[in-house]
Structure 1
Amino acid sequence: MIDLFQSYWWLLFPLFWFVGAGWGSLMRFKRTQAKIDLIKTYAAAGKEAPAELIASLDAPDTSDDDDTGYDGERHSGGGRAFLVVLFGGLAGVFAFTGYTGWIGGVDTELYFVAMILGVLSFAFLVSAMFKSGRKGG
């Protein structure tokens, strides 16, 4: 069991990303549910809900508390630029560590992880370039 964690420790990074994305999704659901409950309260009181409240159900959620930068439809290129630098930097660290043998000799698994992170960095770069040219998205 210990060997499993020593060999595949890097899988914790995508696991944490999935947990964070799930948490953000849960929080968006809770905010939408609270808006719906508020509309029900207005309806039970015989009043009409404000138009802004009803319109906010169809509008994309732009709250800052879960602004992870992963949802391309509601974030500017700035969030993608951060991801390009982040994944590019991580790819460089893994490649350098594999090259120098800091973990115990030249390790081809580190090169593989570096390639994956480099591809992700390139994908975010391309996404930022194409998304910044579009208006209103």
Structure 2
Amino acid sequence: MSSYDSLFRNYLEELRTARDEAMRWWDSLVQFAGEDPESAYAQVRLRWPAGPVSYPRIIAVYRNYYLACVALNEELESTRQSSSRPSAGWGEDDEDDAPGIIPPVRLLLDGLEPADPELSRFMEGFVFSPIGLDVNGRTV
């Protein structure tokens, strides 16, 4: 199992748990917003336009695994650069056996559909990025 596979499996497990918490949170918000379910839902959506996916635990899980994926990518890139000596492969076929770098969004969002379509549909509302860059261009 690759490091990405392990990271993704752990992400799925935590995200599923967080989704269940988020749905309980969302249902309680709607329940206490009013007697008419439709207007209660609309009222809650005014405050939380992204819906249950904006639950803080969902954001925290995504950020945690996004940053872990960035760290893994940096580690793989560092290993790739340190092992590539200009003259090391002269006279050999050029085959890149090093694992490819996977962008965090591709792993954490695009990877959901084949692994868990229901969870993928839940995360469709996750239309913002809780990730930024510091003054040195590092992901935070």
Q: State the TM bucket, normalised to the shorter chain.
A: 0.3 to 0.5
- Which of the two has greater helix per residue? 1
TM-score (norm 1): 0.39
Per chain length, whose mean CA-contact separation is higher, i.e. which structure has more relative contact order (CA < 8 Å, sep 6+)? 2
- Greater Rg by CA: 1
